[in-house]
Amino acid sequence: MRHKGALISILENKKKKTNKPPGIRFRWRQRDERGQIVSQTRKATTSTSFAPRASTSRARLVQHLGPVTEEESETSTSGLESTPVLNIDEEISILHREINILLADLEDPECSNPAVPGASHSWSVRKELSQDRWRESRPEIVDSLLAAEHASQKICQSCNVKRAILRCRDCLPKQLYCEDCDVSTHAKFPLHNRESMIEGFYTPLPPTTAISLHSDGKYALHEQDCFLPLDVPEVICGCLTSTIHVGPGKHIILVGINGRYNVTVPVLTCTTCLSTWTANLADLIKNGYWPATVNCDTIYQVDLFSSFEELKVSAPGMSRLAFMRILEQRTDYFGRNGMICGDTFQKSFFEWTYSMATRGLRTATVS
Ligand SMILES: [Zn+2]
Ligand SMILES: [Zn+2]
Ligand SMILES: [Zn+2]
């Protein structure tokens, strides 16, 4: 295949470049996002232990291997010690691996490029073969789909004793829980999307609902607090940490890429001296949340903003309201409820964008 040959020749050329002729020195030069060479003095301020090593292919692409003139060599001598040393063989082996994965995709009829000459079949034949494979597999796929929806009686995969009454695919590879193991496991992962099995089929269960077993042997649903996941302090006063009690505080709305959650901010109370601690704005931001308003009645997960930003770049026609509808659909899909205000989201998104830009400017000034 011509593509394969071309890719391998690129690798070979890259390898040849490393066989530097005597008298010429090579070194890695870092480029910034706009392709400008980052000065050595700036590199020297960035310790190797703090700067992420160029381990991804994208990061490697911004690095440029080029001959260094004597002039450049003199000006950069002081910064060479702090420059991350990249092993070219290691880099080439990673590139080889990535190219092999890409080539495997190319050989798949689903992903084959009709423009690749030398392919064994024409584009239309490959499409037809692919259609045939899908057609043959359809009955099996439908059977698998129906079987997956049947909530048969199984044992809890956590305690291996009690009957499983709940499924959580966010917990895979273990996904079936009894009512006790559900509470103990999801106290640590409160935002998981669980499904009840007590009715013989899977029903989405909001994190504010738990299942309990009554004395008559019947299962029932009851309300519970869904605590906002937070990095809470281990010590809030001078007393022993074992005296700290975690209780419910303010009820707020959390919005993430999976929609809206009704959550409770935890309040830590020392049972000895009655000191309390709850998260303030700085704690929320430190934990990856962003306030919709300064009193934090609604907060967003910041990755939601970066997804929205990316969406506005790749699909500029997508309206804010359409994005809100997607989030509301995901809320409903996972058994939760409630509206999401688009105006509040937009205002908060602009504030986040402003703060991110200001942070970037301050970082640049400091470095
Ligand atoms: Zn269990
Ligand atoms: Zn889970
Ligand atoms: Zn205390």
Domain match, 249 and 185 both: no
Global pTM reads 0.65
How many CB atoms sit inside 10 A of residue 229's CB?
17
What mean pLDDT is reported for the chain?
Answer: 78
Domain boundary among the residues 92, 107, 122 is at: 107
- Tell me which H or E stretch contains 292: none
Domain match, 246 and 362 both: yes
Domain match, 23 and 81 both: yes
Q: Quick check: is 50 in a domain?
A: yes
d(CA 93, CA 87): 10
d(CA 306, CA 310): 6
Q: Quick check: is 119 in a domain?
A: no
Domain match, 217 and 188 both: yes
Percent of the chain with pLDDT over 70: 70
Domain match, 292 and 248 both: yes
Please name the residues in contact with 102: beta carbons below 8 A apart, sequence gap of 6 or more. 7
Domain extent, residue 73, equals 2-107
Q: What is the pLDDT of residue 111?
A: 53
How many Å lie between the centroid of ligand 2 and the Cα of residue 42? 44
Domain match, 353 and 309 both: yes
Mean pLDDT computed over 58-80 = 40
Query: Among all ligands shown, which has an atom nearest to the Cα of 175?
Result: 2
How many Å lie between the centroid of ligand 2 and the Cα of residue 156? 13
Q: pLDDT-based confidence at 34, cuts 50/70/90?
A: low
Q: pLDDT-based confidence at 226, cuts 50/70/90?
A: very high
Mean pLDDT computed over 141-152 = 84
- Mapped onto helix, strand or coil, the DSSP state of residue 50 is coil
d(CA 305, CA 204): 26
Higher pLDDT, 233 or 115: 233
Range in 59-63, 96-100, 305-309, 319-323 the model is least confident about: 59-63
Inform me whether the pLDDT recorded for 356 exceeds 80.
yes
- Mapped onto helix, strand or coil, the DSSP state of residue 295 is coil
**Into how many domains does the chain fold?**
3
Query: Among all ligands shown, which has an atom nearest to the Cα of 211?
Result: 1
How many Å lie between the centroid of ligand 2 and the Cα of residue 337? 19
Q: pLDDT-based confidence at 138, cuts 50/70/90?
A: very high
Please report the DSSP string for 57-90 in residue order: HHHHHTEEEEE--HHHHHHHGGGGGGSPP--HHH
Query: Among all ligands shown, which has an atom nearest to the Cα of 193?
Result: 2
Mean pLDDT computed over 125-150 = 87
Q: pLDDT-based confidence at 177, cuts 50/70/90?
A: very high
Name the most confidently modeled range: 3-17, 90-104, 153-167.
153-167
How many Å lie between the centroid of ligand 2 and the Cα of residue 250? 24
